[in-house]
């Protein structure tokens, strides 16, 4: 009888139909990865999920999802950069203590973006000049690890007037978080909303408003 040969493992099948989408919650720092495996007659022990930021950022997590052929083929990756666009690869792994094999790496066709952080502490105040037709909108963004391309500022007159300007303020995460909006109605009371936008130009992601009431001088 001949001696037994060394064990060697066949490769698991290549993941297919890889997609990235926003989860139902925590859309600012999480994305859900979904993929398919052909058939059911295969053996896997884990999947290697690699998310790469489109803007070359350093937050590029590589996650090992321990799973078998009967486990769900989806995984939510956390701790991502708000407003960043990501691509993903998925690789199937089959191993035991002595042997390991890996599938070909599968990539998804379209990038997906996390939502930018929500603007907070939004206030309206009168500027130092032109107090009859202008108001200054100020807001805060949590932390510095986020990506924005613009802010949409919407001023709404409290008395139902038609002068309700919507201003797009092109900015990045290093620009000031304030903007003076002109062309307002003298003596009118306004509310303000601020929405952060991240795009490049696609896909686009937005995080909605905070608002604060400010009465202008009569």
CATH number of 16-113: 2.60.40.10
Q: How far apart are CA 144 and CA 132, in angstroms?
A: 34
**Mean predicted confidence (pLDDT) in 175-186:** 94
Which residue in 51, 21, 54 sits closest to 147, CA to CA?
54
**Mean predicted confidence (pLDDT) in 176-195:** 93
Is it true that the peptide bond before 76 is cis, omega within 30 degrees of 0?
A: no
Which residue in 206, 207, 146, 203 sits closest to 21, CA to CA?
203
pLDDT in tens, 122-158: 999 999 999 999 999 999 998 778 889 999 999 999 8
CB-count burial class (<10 Å; 0-12, 13-18, 19+) for 174: exposed
Q: Are 210 and 162 in contact (CB under 8 A)?
A: no
Max Cα–Cα distance, the chain, nearest Å: 103
Q: Are 12 and 103 in contact (CB under 8 A)?
A: yes
Does domain 120-215 correspond to CATH entry 2.40.37.10? no
| Average confidence score pLDDT of the chain | 86
Q: Are 94 and 44 in contact (CB under 8 A)?
A: yes
Same fold yes or no, 16-113 and 120-215: yes
Q: Out of 25-34, 50-59, 75-84, which region has the weakest mean confidence (pLDDT)?
A: 50-59
SS3 41: coil
In the chain, where the domains are located:
16-113, 120-215
Is pLDDT larger for residue 80 or for residue 143? 80
pLDDT in tens, 159-173: 777 888 899 999 988
Q: How far apart are CA 38 and CA 23, in angstroms?
A: 24
**Mean predicted confidence (pLDDT) in 204-212:** 54
Q: Specify the pLDDT at position 75.
A: 96
> Does 66 have pLDDT greater than 90?
yes
In this prediction the pTM is 0.82
Which residue in 98, 95, 94, 90 sits closest to 34, CA to CA?
90
Do the strands 46-53 and 120-125 form a parallel or antiparallel pair, or are they unpaired? unpaired
């Amino acid at each position: 009888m001949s001696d037994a040969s060394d064990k060697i493992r066949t490769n698991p099948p290549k993941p297919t139909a890889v997609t990235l989408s926003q989860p139902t919650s925590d859309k600012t720092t999480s994305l859900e990865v979904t993929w398919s495996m052909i058939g059911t007659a295969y053996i896997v022990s884990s999947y290697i999920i690699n998310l790469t930021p489109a803007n070359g950022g350093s937050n590029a997590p590589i996650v090992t999802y321990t799973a078998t052929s009967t486990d769900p083929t989806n995984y939510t990756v956390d701790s991502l950069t708000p407003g960043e666009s990501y691509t993903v690869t998925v690789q199937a792994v089959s191993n035991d203590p002595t042997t390991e094999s890996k599938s070909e790496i599968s990539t998804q066709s379209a990038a997906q973006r996390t939502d930018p952080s929500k603007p907070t502490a939004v206030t309206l105040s009168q500027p130092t000049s032109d107090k009859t037709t202008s108001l200054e909108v100020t807001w805060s963004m949590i932390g510095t690890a986020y990506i924005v391309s613009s802010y949409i500022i919407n001023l709404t007159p409290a008395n139902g007037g038609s002068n309700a300007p919507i201003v797009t303020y092109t900015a990045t995460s290093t620009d000031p978080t304030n903007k003076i909006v002109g062309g307002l109605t003298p003596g009118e009371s306004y509310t303000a909303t601020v929405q952060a936008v991240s795009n490049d130009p696609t896909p686009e992601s937005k995080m909605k408003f905070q608002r604060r009431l400010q009465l202008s001088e009569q």
